[in-house]
């Protein structure tokens, strides 16, 4: 038996119109409910997919911009923001423009020397474009108060993207700018003068931002830091332990003020080696830096070993520089004509005043041979003139007072002049450290003429004048040069200490050692208390040198020992002390001086880090019983 549907009751009355309408409405509502559920499901799917795509986009941009820096709006005083509501954003955009211009300059410079036939330069960009990443600061995530911009910043920071922030403020008639990147804060300032302190003064701010761009790019990128460091535009290595560490080492060795002819020759061999060429292979920027570094090294050979292009060997000259004092009198000022006199007219005495700025007292004499005077009893035919007239031209060295007078009304140096002055000052220091004080003095004067605000040129000129042997030594000129340096920057301890040393050379003999209480000495030790031992060593070495020059040999021996009493290392200072002590006993009869020298040598410890002093050979050759 099979199941069959129940028979239809054909006799049931049909639904009324109202019931049919009611059924249709219920059916429509069910259909709309089902459709709404399906649509909501699709909307949730699309929303999830959209959110996923947004997160993917943000993460992708964050990864791509991991090595970029973004410039955020600067903080400005209320007076500036009142005059222009977008002052902070305007300053940020100006800085971004300066950074992009600096990067373009590097790109163009490298491209000129590139061997890439396709014209492509493999140097990474550093400055990011804010509009690519800042999706909006006014769009908030529901019920969180967090903007999309905050989310982008957070995700970007995870992948290493960095921000440049800064502030502008005014104080005591000056406009100050602070810029911060990766924890490094750079300070700049300009004098407002007659400018309105309530205005933005964008020309002053732009000038400071242009000065800041090199330092910011050096912090932001190791390749840019290498480029600027090797060209001398950046003073410090921000990424010494990076993948470019070997290149930083090349440039650091070249720029060291302790370069000698021997170390320079070794560096040139390294730069010309196959290893260096292999390191630069396939990288236009590194090839450019290699060429520039080789060129700079060859320039230094012209200072230390002029025969290098012919001999291919860099050796120190065996003939030391010889200096003599020559006095060059200015043209006499003829006295005004008076009534006729029977006596000849004499020049005005003002022409011979010692403070005349046109006078030059320090003249360089090139190394040369001089004739030897014959004994008085020798016949006239055997006598030779003494000294023979020089066969090389005399080079006139400017006095510190003349340099100061030249700088009195000179405008502030431009960036290129500052860079040239820094390079000249570096060459001067190199010459001074290689026993070329006269050439070094010329270079220091040239550096000052290029930039009167070069504090290190003034300071090192003062150090040269107080530490060289006569006749170049001039303690009063040294004091003036160091006082000028202190006026330019009074926050450098070694400059203050050398000013104190110059004053010790000028002090009466009975109060030389009391000069350590001078304001300059106290300031130096207050600036950096950790350097007190080193600063005291420099002071007492200078005091001992003065005692030696003045013939106070016992005091000289005592001061030499005091100089190294707290710090005895196998360095050139120790070598100088033991040589002077040995000399004091051998030639001036100071008993026990050589024994003191041996005790100092025995106590001297090796330099930290396994370094070897340039005077190690002299220390090893010193014999003690």
Please say whether the beta carbons of 212 and 179 come within 8 A: yes
Provide the H-helix boundaries in 451-531: 455-467, 475-488, 493-506, 519-527
Q: What is the mean pLDDT of residues 188-205?
A: 85
What pLDDT, in 10s, does the model give residues 110-142?
A: 888 776 655 455 666 677 665 444 444 445 555
Residue 548 has pLDDT above 80, yes or no: yes
pLDDT of residue 267: 93
State the pairing for strand pair 184-191/174-181: antiparallel
Q: In terms of pLDDT, which residue wins out, 42 or 448?
A: 448
Question: What region does 2 belong to: left with phi over 0, alpha with psi -120 to 50, or beta?
Answer: beta
What pLDDT, in 10s, does the model give residues 330-339?
A: 444 444 444 5
Number of residues that this document lists for the chain: 625
Residue 345 has pLDDT above 60, yes or no: no
Residue 329 pLDDT level (bands cut at 50, 70, 90):
very low
Taking the C-alpha atoms of residue 184 and residue 615, their distance in angstroms, rounded to an integer, is 37
Residue 584 has pLDDT above 90, yes or no: yes
DSSP structure class, residue 75: B
Please say whether the beta carbons of 203 and 192 come within 8 A: no
Q: Which two tokens stand for residue 71?
A: 């410039």
Quickly count: other Cβ atoms within 10 Å of residue 30's Cβ.
Answer: 10
Element (H, E) at 324: strand 322-328
Q: Which two tokens stand for residue 586?
A: 């051998």
Exposed/middle/buried for residue 392 (C-beta within 10 Å: 0-12, 13-18, 19+): exposed
pLDDT of residue 351: 45
Residue that is written with structure tokens 């090199």 in the block: 214
Distances from the Cα of 65 to the Cαs of 58, 69, 135, 156, 360, in angstroms? 10, 8, 15, 8, 60
Q: What is the mean pLDDT of residues 595-617?
A: 89
Q: Is 126 helix (H, G, I), strand (E, B) or coil?
A: coil
pLDDT of residue 592: 94
Of 613, 619, 545, 556, whose CA–CA distance to 589 is shortest? 556
pLDDT of residue 332: 45
**Mean pLDDT over all residues of the chain?**
80
What pLDDT, in 10s, does the model give residues 587-598?
A: 999 999 999 999
Q: Which two tokens stand for residue 492?
A: 């450098």
pLDDT of residue 310: 87
Taking the C-alpha atoms of residue 439 and residue 380, their distance in angstroms, rounded to an integer, is 39
Express as a percent the part of the chain with pLDDT over 90. 39
> Which of 155-159, 325-329, 387-391, 591-595 shows the lowest mean pLDDT across its residues?
325-329
Residue 179 has pLDDT above 90, yes or no: yes
Q: What is the pTM of this model?
A: 0.71
Taking the C-alpha atoms of residue 521 and residue 532, their distance in angstroms, rounded to an integer, is 10
What pLDDT, in 10s, does the model give residues 238-296?
A: 887 888 899 999 999 998 888 889 999 999 999 999 999 998 888 888 888 999 999 99
Phi, psi of 537 (to 5 degrees): -60, -45
pLDDT of residue 239: 84
pLDDT of residue 544: 95
Exposed/middle/buried for residue 432 (C-beta within 10 Å: 0-12, 13-18, 19+): buried
């Amino acid at each position: 038996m099979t199941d069959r549907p129940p028979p239809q009751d054909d006799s049931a009355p049909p639904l009324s119109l109202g019931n049919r309408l009611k059924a249709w409405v219920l059916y429509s509502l069910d259909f709309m409910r089902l459709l709404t559920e399906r649509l909501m499901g699709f909307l949730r799917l699309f929303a999830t997919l959209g959110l996923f795509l947004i997160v993917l986009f943000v993460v992708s941009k964050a990864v791509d911009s991991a090595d970029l820096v973004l410039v955020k709006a600067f903080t400005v005083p209320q007076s500036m923001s009142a005059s222009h509501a977008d002052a902070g954003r305007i300053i940020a955009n100006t800085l971004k423009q300066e950074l992009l211009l600096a990067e373009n300059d590097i790109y163009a410079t490298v491209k000129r020397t590139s061997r890439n036939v396709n014209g492509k330069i493999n140097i990474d960009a550093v400055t990011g474009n804010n509009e690519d990443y800042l999706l909006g600061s006014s769009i908030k995530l529901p019920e969180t108060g967090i903007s999309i911009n905050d989310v982008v910043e957070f995700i970007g920071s995870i992948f290493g993207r960095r921000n440049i922030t800064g502030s502008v403020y005014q104080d005591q008639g000056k406009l100050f700018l602070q810029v911060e990147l990766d924890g490094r804060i750079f300070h700049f300032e300009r004098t407002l003068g007659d400018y309105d302190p309530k205005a933005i003064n964008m020309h002053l701010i732009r000038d400071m931002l242009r000065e800041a761009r090199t330092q910011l790019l050096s912090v932001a990128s190791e390749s840019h830091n290498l480029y600027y460091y090797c060209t001398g535009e950046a003073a410090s290595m921000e990424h010494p332990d990076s993948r470019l560490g070997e290149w930083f080492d090349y440039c650091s060795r070249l720029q060291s003020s302790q370069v000698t002819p021997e170390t320079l020759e070794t560096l040139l061999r390294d730069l010309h080696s196959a290893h260096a060429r292999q390191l630069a292979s396939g990288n236009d920027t590194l090839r450019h830096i290699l060429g520039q570094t080789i060129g700079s090294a060859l320039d230094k050979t012209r200072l230390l070993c002029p025969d290098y292009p012919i001999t291919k060997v860099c050796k120190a000259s065996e003939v030391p520089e010889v200096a003599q004092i020559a006095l060059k009198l200015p043209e006499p000022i003829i006295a005004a004509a008076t009534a006729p006199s029977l006596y000849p007219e004499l020049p005005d005495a003002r022409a011979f005043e010692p403070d005349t700025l046109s006078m030059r007292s320090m003249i360089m004499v090139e190394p040369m041979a001089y004739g030897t005077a014959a004994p008085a009893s020798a016949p006239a035919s055997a006598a030779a003139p003494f000294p023979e007239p020089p066969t090389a031209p005399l080079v006139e060295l400017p006095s510190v007072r003349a340099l100061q007078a030249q700088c009195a009304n000179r405008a502030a140096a431009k960036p290129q002049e500052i860079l040239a002055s820094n390079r000249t000052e570096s060459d001067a220091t190199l010459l001074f450290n290689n026993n070329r004080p006269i050439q070094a003095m010329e270079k220091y004067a040239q550096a000052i003429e290029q930039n009167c605000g070069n504090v290190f040129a003034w300071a090192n000129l003062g150090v040269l004048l107080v530490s060289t042997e006569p006749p170049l030594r001039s303690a009063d000129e040294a004091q003036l040069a160091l006082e000028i340096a202190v006026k330019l920057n009074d926050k450098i301890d070694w400059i203050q200490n050398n000013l104190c040393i110059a004053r010790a050379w000028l002090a009466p003999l009975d109060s030389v050692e009391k000069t350590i209480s001078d304001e300059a000495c106290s300031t130096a030790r207050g600036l950096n208390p950790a350097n007190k031992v080193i600063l005291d060593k420099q002071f007492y070495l200078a005091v001992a040198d003065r005692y030696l020059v003045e013939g106070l040999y016992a005091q000289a021996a005592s001061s030499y020992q005091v100089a190294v009493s707290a710090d005895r290392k196998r360095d050139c200072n120790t070598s100088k002390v033991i040589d002077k002590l040995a000399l004091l006993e051998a030639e001036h009869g100071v008993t026990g001086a050589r024994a003191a020298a041996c005790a100092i040598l025995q106590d001297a410890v090796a330099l930290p880090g396994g370094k070897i002093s340039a005077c190690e050979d002299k220390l090893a050759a010193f014999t003690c019983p």
